Structure 1
Amino acid sequence: MVAPTASVSLLGTTALLFEAPGELALPSQQRIWALAREAQAWPEVREAVPGMNNLMLTFERLPRSAAALDALEARLQAAWDAAAPLPLEGRVVELPVVYGGEGGPHMADVVAHTGLSVDEIVELHSTPVYPVYALGSHPGYCYLGGMDPRIATPRRKVPVLSIPGGAVSIGGAQTGVSASAGPSGWNTIGSTAMSFFDPAQDPPARLQPGDMIRFRVQGVIR
């Protein structure tokens, strides 16, 4: 049986994106972490940045000839095929969340879509321990896995121009917490006061891939 192949595409003149085959899941993401660790040691690679089921590589000078690019793509595919899941033992961080009210303006939309009550949504959302798959979107933002599919809710047709930092939201099959104020197409169901990014700290991002988040119910406003 032939193993599925990844997709590799150029990002500007100094980077490329490796997109793993198959659906997003923790074992696949752990293989992305393993691939990132290996590729970071390649002499031509400046930085290896894991994303959600993908890996971005940046270069001081990206090979430009077709033959060199083909060789690099084959090297990445071979490394992916050989990569074993890399479990990263991170911290478990508890986030106190107030669900609903002004800090959760789209809770009613999640209720309407799922047919669940507010209490059921809060219970399903706060029960899992969510692994941090990757950082991105904006500084300190964590892409999380592990949300219960029963509360999956499509992204909003019209994005909100600005949600505050600490907004706890659902977008499709994922949940996340905004690290800073900005636009969003996700459904905000609560808020937390925890800070996720501080440029004065080292490292500035509070969480890293392999860490885990547990949402602790601080209150529910109906």
Structure 2
Amino acid sequence: MRHIPAVATGVDSAAQVFMLSKLDPAAIDPRVGAVDEQKLHTSDACIVNVDYPLGQAAYHILRQVAEQAAWVAGVYVLGKAATLNADVGDVMIPNVVYNEHSGNTYWLDNCFTAGDVQPNLVYGSALDNQRAVTVRGTFLQNRDYLDFYYQGRYTVVEMEAGPYLDACYEIGQPDRYPVNESVNMAQAHFDLGIVHYASDTPYTQARTLGARGLSYRGMDSTYAAAIAVARRILQREDALVSQKK
């Protein structure tokens, strides 16, 4: 595994790069599923894990990765978000994302559903078919601002999905991402999934991470979401025994 620290990168985000074939099957969380060791060790997939690139950093990093890669098999976004209709520890899975940076509204077939996450949630609930808005900053929203989006049926407030989708557009199209348009990402030629775990409830309870931590119940959702992403990657590589059944 190669670790790239955030120091002097210009985007304040560390990353890890590793080959799927180098993973130790015995060290993989059993909740992911039974691993086919032979398929795992013959996989030529490379995973680039980027640590919390917020805002336009997400766009620039994914664009640079895509420019250097011969083929992108999947893009999976896992991050924390504020929820306008759920509670800390819940998981939200959107199929619509509005990006305040570019003004684009993205419609996507999210590869994840509530059924992919709920079996591993002990305390929280998984909510799919959500609508997310990517904002410019986490402390720029007042009650009226949040109410505006909530009345528009937006339930997730976060900071990276929109720029990632701008970059995803450029992966599949020969031109730069548009501005102030509705973009159909339902037929992307690569796997695309977005999962958020609720860390803040500014609209219903005025609670944020600045006032208190996630607690054990909040951490439960982070692991459940991560397991869903790991399982999806191994399934796509046909590296789970259950795929044969």
Superposition TM-score, scaled by structure 1 size: 0.26
Higher CA-based Rg? 1
Give the structure with the larger helix fraction: 2
Q: TM-score, normalised by structure 2?
A: 0.24
